[in-house]
Amino acid sequence: MKRIAFLEKNSPFGKLLLLIGLILLFSILSALSGLLVGKLFFGVTITELGTFISNPETPEAVSFVKFYQLINQIGIFIFPVLFYSFFVSTSPGSYLRLDKKPTALSLLVVGLVVYAILPFLNYLADLNQQIVLPDLFSGIEQWMKAKELQATHLTKIFLRTETIFGLSMNLIIVALIPAIGEELLFRGVLLRLTKEMTKSTHLAVIITALLFSAIHLQFYGFFPRFLLGLILGYSFVFSQNLWAPIFLHFVNNASSVIIFYMHYNGYIKISMENFGASPNSVYIIGSLLATIWLMIILYQKEGQFRT
């Protein structure tokens, strides 16, 4: 007997409300369960756990923050999407475009795109960081800069490790789980819903890229993350397979984790922030053109673009 998807006939807006409700529900549940497990495991108060999150300076605090981030990523991105797809489709795997294996060519192309776009992405990041708000918004600007410095500081604390086991855990928490979870939400569901509401594939890709960048709350990295969101969106649209953007996302994040590990432990001199950066305008323009060329190859070979 075929299973019934009770909310399959709901309007796109109704489905969006369902998705938001599930995200809120599982966000609360994951946050509470993470704090409860942390309290029991570490034997400290909830207040102390809050200090761990805001200022993870001790090994114990860093361990808890990694665990807490893992739980929250699953709760915010993965569980809501899985439950949502169960309610709106009789075939969740097909709905999310996870039912077919990606082609070797698509994985090769999106993997190359990660490195091809780096010089232009770093150039865009430099431009982003030079933005100065009018005096009227100086207070907001100072707050944005403070949040950016805090995020950078916490990221470096989070990624510091001298062991292969620590590197492996960072790859899971920073690369694998975010790649799966964020692509399930943004490309697997939100891009589809936005397309249904706007009747435009291009507009759907742009809107989800904006949301993807905004949700990270790193204002001075907004433009490069928006561009990355566009690339992720079109890699999904061209291939009609969610594994392509998941792989691209994973390679991008994993590269940063590995470069940080190698630089931190003295294996290489180049830092994570400067990896792929170049002041040469030829390289910067060539980076963009090479990326466009690779995306054209993906479009031509996969041939599944749908307006």
Q: Are residues 260 and 240 in the same domain?
A: yes
**Number of neighbours of residue 164 by Cβ within 10 angstroms:** 9
Q: Are residues 179 and 144 in the same domain?
A: yes
Domain boundary among 29, 63, 95: 95
Terminal Cα-to-Cα distance of the chain (whole angstroms): 34
Residue with tokens 């599982």: 26
Choice between 7 and 64, residue whose per-residue pLDDT is larger: 64
Q: Which of 60, 257, 262 is nearest to 172 (CA)?
A: 257
Q: Are residues 81 and 191 in the same domain?
A: no
**Number of neighbours of residue 85 by Cβ within 10 angstroms:** 21
Q: What is the mean pLDDT of residues 145-169?
A: 85
Domain boundary among 95, 121, 141: 95
Q: Are residues 247 and 128 in the same domain?
A: yes
Q: Are residues 91 and 157 in the same domain?
A: no
Q: Are residues 103 and 219 in the same domain?
A: yes
Q: Are residues 136 and 82 in the same domain?
A: no
Q: What is the mean pLDDT of residues 41-45?
A: 83
Number of domains in the chain: 2
Number of Cα atoms under 13 Å in the Cβ half of residue 297: 14
Q: Are residues 298 and 201 in the same domain?
A: yes
Q: In this predicted structure, which of 167-176, 239-248, 268-277 has the lowest mean pLDDT?
A: 268-277
Q: What is this structure's pTM?
A: 0.92
Give me the percent of the chain exceeding a pLDDT of 70.
96
> Residue 307 above 60 pLDDT?
no
Residue 303: predicted pLDDT: 66
Q: Are residues 32 and 176 in the same domain?
A: no
Q: Are residues 40 and 136 in the same domain?
A: no
DSSP H helices in the chain: 12-42, 46-54, 59-73, 79-88, 92-95, 104-116, 118-129, 138-159, 164-170, 177-183, 191-198, 201-214, 222-239, 243-264, 281-302
pLDDT digits (tens, 9 = 90+) for 209-235: 999 998 987 788 899 999 999 999 999
Which domain range does residue 262 map to?
Answer: 99-307
Q: Are residues 90 and 193 in the same domain?
A: no
Q: Are residues 285 and 165 in the same domain?
A: yes
Q: What is the mean pLDDT of residues 55-73?
A: 89
Q: In this predicted structure, which of 100-109, 266-275, 289-298 has the lowest mean pLDDT?
A: 266-275
Contacts of 180 by beta carbon, 8 Å cutoff, 6+ apart: 77, 78, 246
pLDDT digits (tens, 9 = 90+) for 127-137: 998 877 777 76
Domain boundary among 75, 95, 115: 95
Distance CA 26, CA 84 (A): 12
Average model confidence (pLDDT) for the chain? 90
85-94, 138-147, 215-224: which has the highest mean pLDDT? Answer: 85-94
